[in-house]
Amino acid sequence: MIRSCNIPPLLNRICDDTIHSAFLVTRDGALLGASNCSNTTRTEDPEAIAALLADIGVDYQRLGEDFAAVDANPRSKSHMKCLLIELELGLVGIAGCSEMDSLVIVVGEANTPPGLVKAKLEALADYVQESLLQAS
Average pLDDT, the chain: 82
Indicate the pTM of the whole model. Answer: 0.84
Exposure class string for 43-57: b at 16+ Cβ within 10 A, else e = eeebeebbbebbeeb
Looking at residue 93, the DSSP 8-state letter turns out to be E
Q: Model confidence over 94-120: pLDDT tens digits?
A: 998 766 788 999 999 999 999 999 999
Helix (H/G/I), strand (E/B), else coil: 88: coil
Strand partners, 95: 104
Do residues 106 and 117 make contact, with C-beta atoms less than 8 angstroms apart? yes
For the chain, which residues make up each domain, given as ranges? 8-134
Whole-number Å distance between alpha carbons of 96 and 17 = 24
Q: Hey, what CATH class is 8-134 in? A: alpha beta
What distance separates the 2 farthest-apart alpha carbons in the chain? 50
**In the predicted structure, residue 72 carries a pLDDT above the cut 60:** no
Q: Model confidence over 23-69: pLDDT tens digits?
A: 999 989 999 988 887 665 555 788 898 899 999 988 988 887 777 66
Do residues 67 and 78 make contact, with C-beta atoms less than 8 angstroms apart? yes
Output the pLDDT for position 107. 92
Using pLDDT thresholds of 50, 70 and 90, give the confidence band for residue 93. very high
Do residues 129 and 10 make contact, with C-beta atoms less than 8 angstroms apart? no
